């Protein structure tokens, strides 16, 4: 067998293993962390390029001139020189390898990009997020220093499935003379179960307010200094701060406005912690996050970009 008959193959390579690790990091990053996603993408790109370079180099034409000279085979050397112009840069095996890699890349992109776009883009564009403004009625219906349970339909066209509950407390005026309200969303920030007030509800004093172009809003006074989740034991104080149980942050709150003497609520936002009470409280405010997601501290880096929910 002449030296020309020996196939030219690349030695064993670790690049495919690095590429596989990068893909695994990408998949983990989609669930756990944006940082892991970026690291995985960088690893996959770097090792993928190195892998492709090795594959293409393995199928490059082999220069056998030095071998023939050492063996003194002048006839083979002349034949090789005469046929040099007829040699293909890539043989059939190289073409098939590159075609397989290219086709695999196209199929992978077609399978991965659409769901990745649906999962990630809303976090940057806010697609599907629509704020509903609700008129809860005259400010006089909310006694200062007392919580009132308000229930309303967020999307009347959807019926009872859109019913929401908030706990509203009139804090009076701030130091600069502005009205202050504490409006807590009733969804537990552990897993989203309904939070209940820890105190008696005065059902006999229940009233309704029928705003313009919206279903009636129900208002029930309640003597509550704290709130609790009956599902998993989460407990919150009167400012919504977690005091016990598995919740990872304070209760979410509503933005509010006073329009023509009426209290309107709008967008929901998440809260890390609240320092102080009532009108003097300092609220660590963040973009609305799903239940179970940290919004402050080192833990927030372990979670994906919070996608606003309803």
Query: By three-state DSSP, how is residue 304 classified?
Result: coil
pLDDT at 233: 93
pLDDT by residue for the chain (310 residues), tens only, comes to 455 555 555 566 678 888 888 888 887 776 666 777 788 888 888 888 888 887 776 555 555 555 555 455 555 556 655 555 554 555 677 777 777 777 777 887 777 777 766 666 655 554 445 568 999 999 999 999 999 999 999 888 888 888 999 999 999 999 898 999 999 999 999 999 999 999 999 999 999 998 888 899 999 999 999 999 999 999 999 999 999 999 999 999 999 999 999 999 999 999 999 999 999 999 999 988 889 888 888 777 766 555 444 4
Beta strand segments in the chain, E = 134-138, 147-153, 163-173, 179-185, 196-197, 207-209, 217-222, 226-228, 235-237, 242-244, 250-259, 262-275, 282-286
Predicted confidence (pLDDT) per residue in 230-250, tens digit: 999 999 999 999 999 999 999
Q: What is the pTM of this model?
A: 0.62
Per DSSP, helices labelled H in 135-222 are none
Q: What is the domain class of 134-302 according to CATH?
A: mainly beta
Domain borders along the chain are 3-125, 134-302
pLDDT at 114: 74
Spatial separation of the C-alpha atoms in residues 248 and 237, rounded to whole Å: 14
pLDDT at 124: 55
């Amino acid at each position: 067998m002449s030296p020309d008959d020996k196939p030219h193959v690349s030695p064993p390579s670790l690049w495919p293993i690095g590429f596989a690790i990068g893909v695994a990091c990408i998949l983990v990053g989609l669930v756990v962390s944006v940082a892991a996603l970026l690291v995985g993408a960088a690893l996959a790109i770097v090792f993928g390029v190195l892998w492709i370079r090795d594959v293409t180099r393995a199928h490059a034409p082999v220069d056998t001139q030095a071998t023939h000279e050492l063996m003194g085979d002048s006839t083979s050397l002349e034949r090789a020189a005469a046929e040099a112009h007829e040699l293909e840069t890539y043989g059939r095996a190289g073409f098939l390898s590159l075609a397989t890699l290219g086709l695999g890349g196209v199929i992978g992109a077609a399978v991965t990009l659409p769901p990745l776009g649906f999962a990630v883009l809303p976090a940057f564009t806010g697609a599907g997020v629509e704020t509903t403004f609700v008129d809860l009625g005259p400010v006089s219906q909310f006694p200062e220093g007392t919580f009132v349970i308000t229930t309303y339909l967020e999307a009347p066209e959807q019926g009872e499935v859109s019913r929401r509950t908030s706990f509203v407390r009139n804090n009076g005026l701030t130091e600069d003379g502005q009205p202050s309200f504490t409006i807590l969303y009733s969804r537990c920030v552990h897993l989203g179960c309904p939070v209940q007030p820890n105190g008696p509800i005065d059902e006999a004093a229940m009233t309704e307010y029928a705003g313009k172009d919206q279903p009636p809003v129900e208002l029930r006074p309640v003597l509550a200094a704290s709130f609790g989740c009956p599902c998993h034991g989460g407990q919150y104080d009167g400012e919504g701060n977690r005091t016990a149980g598995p919740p990872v942050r304070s209760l979410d709150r509503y933005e509010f406005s006073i329009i023509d003497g009426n209290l309107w609520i709008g967008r929901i936002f998440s809260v890390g912690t609240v320092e102080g009470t009532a009108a003097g409280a300092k609220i660590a405010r963040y973009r609305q996050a799903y239940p179970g997601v940290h919004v402050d501290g080192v833990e927030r880096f372990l979670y994906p970009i919070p996608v606003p929910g309803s």
